[in-house]
Chain A
């Protein structure tokens, strides 16, 4: 099995962007690209060619589910695994996000020291 290398993350909060990038790059050793909005991700994600996509759920403008749907419309990203990251994780909501096509949900707040292993586990699932 090949190993996960390229991870993209769509998140509008700069604080969380910075800490997630640090956690994924330094702890996980991934190559990480962060986009501040769904719109930006749509424009640029194909060029980055991610192997895994992380999406914040609640964002101004395009929210996570809308972004997911739009990304699925891009041929090269149609089958790339996606995980949502959100502060709301009732079991029913996790199930709902999975029906939208997400492989899993990472609850916020996350621990910077363990985020990379959570992400890797989702990719390997």
Chain B
């Protein structure tokens, strides 16, 4: 395996582990629910057999994902279940049932300990299902701890990261970070592997620092040690990045950007279609408790409008409703190309296999049989939405930068322009283009060019608001959509980005260089002017605003590059875009 593969492996293992840990609460809740069915009656044997199977699986899987203590605890319980099943009785007495419930509840602590999350309230499933959106609040600076014993290097790294809007705290000793980790936690941890002064290898030493180990944030290593053992140890610790010195800052920042994106994914949106109002309300509550946004469709006839305005990630559909069946509504949804990828999951008491299959043929994706536990429902929905989003990303996003591709960002721009028109608020489009990019490629090679592009992408992602949109429009050209942002604010923002980008130092093959960017922006002025004056602008379509931004970019280039120019829209209404 070469270095890239090892890094990929470490990242994928960490991802699988995170997925596994995320699903555990649902599994533990299912165990609890099974234990709750033990009633001191004949059914107890069947219940305990089911419990035994699940405990066996848990014992076999936990350790593979780094949760050895959970495996051991599940194994102990499994053996108790086996011993009980070997007996003659078919029912369990109250004391034994209580003891079992307590021990099952105790399993949660092992998840908490290893993953750094306290899973305390086992009794209320919906409250402890972890939300993946730890960093949702917009505009919040990401807290990064850098553990680097070389103070000069650490400070240099901190300065560079701060220009990408990260709030950096530097530790030059492992024990200092350990003390800090007892009372607070960062969003991301970057750690040097070798601490020369202390004579310790951090990947080995981490075992002695429980508070640091318990941090649930992504862990990245920086190191000059490219040996297999260190890499494996890093992988075992769940590291999601392994960067060799001298550190390639843009590459590090690019990886950090991806991690932030994962952590700050917007809440999942679920549309519930069910004629049973009580049940629908209950489903919504359960989904909302798991940090999702859920709405109930009241009138089936309005489903297409509801889809357009609510923009769900998934539809949870009842099978049998008075006027229309679930499969009929699914069929209507699938008549629209735009919604062919929308996951539709039937939720129904339908156990007839033939009818289930027939329903799936009519555009459904999955079947959940009622009654369903809250935890199961959340797990089923979350998994489906995540996969659907990943798929959509692969289709819509550029592989180098993770930004929207040309067609997708143009779609977004049109939507925002129409929205601005409806709400009478301004929207600004900005085009950015890296100066003399061809000479970067020619001088340093395409790999260096890619780094420059992804650095600008990362910088943009860091500086923009969460409501802004960002796409890679062409090779080295970016399109930014800034809703509710007028020209002056856009000018300040873009100029700040321009300056920060110019200050970045790229290093490639021992050569240092820097780059600059030019930008042009145009603001729809229907909010500013009154209707009579503004008529021409209103009827002028999205393409005109884009063309105006492009023309402003051209002005910036002609004016000497490394600058930001605003368009004067009125004078350009007549222009036809290319």
Interface of A with B (CB < 8 Å)? 13, 15-16, 18-19, 22, 26-27, 58, 60, 86-88, 108-113
Give, as a whole number of angstroms, the nearest-CB distance from A77 to chain B.
25
Inter-chain contact A108/B16, CB cutoff 8 Å = no
Give Cα A111 to B65, complex, Å. 8
Inter-chain contact A16/B1, CB cutoff 8 Å = no
Give Cα A19 to B21, complex, Å. 13
Give Cα A58 to B63, complex, Å. 17
Interface of B with A (CB < 8 Å)? 1, 5, 8-9, 12-13, 16, 19-20, 23, 53, 56-57, 59-65, 68, 71, 75, 78, 232, 235-236
Other contacts beyond A16-B61, A27-B1, A58-B56: 5, CB < 8 A: A16-B60, A18-B16, A26-B12, A108-B59, A108-B63
Return chain A residues, CB-CB under 8 Å to B20. 15
Inter-chain contact B1/A88, CB cutoff 8 Å = no
Give Cα A60 to B376, complex, Å. 19
Return chain B residues, CB-CB under 8 Å to A113. 232, 235-236
Inter-chain contact A108/B5, CB cutoff 8 Å = no
Give, as a whole number of angstroms, the nearest-CB distance from A125 to chain B.
23
Return chain B residues, CB-CB under 8 Å to A109. 59-65, 68, 71
Q: Which of B9, B62, B75, B236 is close to A22, meaning CB atoms less than 8 Å apart?
A: B9
Inter-chain contact B56/A87, CB cutoff 8 Å = yes
Give, as a whole number of angstroms, the nearest-CB distance from B366 to chain A.
14
Q: Which of A15, A19, A87, A111 is close to B23, meaning CB atoms less than 8 Å apart?
A: A15
Give Cα A109 to B53, complex, Å. 15
Specify the chain A residue showing the minimal Cβ separation from B79.
Answer: A88
Inter-chain contact A86/B9, CB cutoff 8 Å = no
Inter-chain contact B9/A16, CB cutoff 8 Å = no
Give, as a whole number of angstroms, the nearest-CB distance from B361 to chain A.
21
The answer to whether A87 and B16 touch (CB under 8 A), given A26-B5, A26-B8, A27-B9, is no
Specify the chain A residue showing the minimal Cβ separation from B236.
Answer: A113
Inter-chain contact B75/A87, CB cutoff 8 Å = yes
Inter-chain contact B56/A15, CB cutoff 8 Å = no
Give Cα A16 to B19, complex, Å. 11
Inter-chain contact B13/A19, CB cutoff 8 Å = yes
List the 4 shortest-distance A-B pairs measured between CB atoms, nearest first: A109-B63, A87-B60, A108-B60, A109-B64
Give Cα A69 to B57, complex, Å. 23
Inter-chain contact A111/B64, CB cutoff 8 Å = yes
Return chain B residues, CB-CB under 8 Å to A112. 13, 64
Specify the chain A residue showing the minimal Cβ separation from B62.
Answer: A109
Specify the chain A residue showing the minimal Cβ separation from B82.
Answer: A88
Inter-chain contact A58/B53, CB cutoff 8 Å = yes
Inter-chain contact B236/A108, CB cutoff 8 Å = no
Most B CB contacts (10 A, CB to CB) among A13, A15, A18, A111 go to A15
Give Cα A22 to B15, complex, Å. 11
The answer to whether A16 and B56 touch (CB under 8 A), given A22-B12, A22-B13, A113-B232, is no
The answer to whether A26 and B19 touch (CB under 8 A), given A16-B64, A58-B56, A108-B61, is no
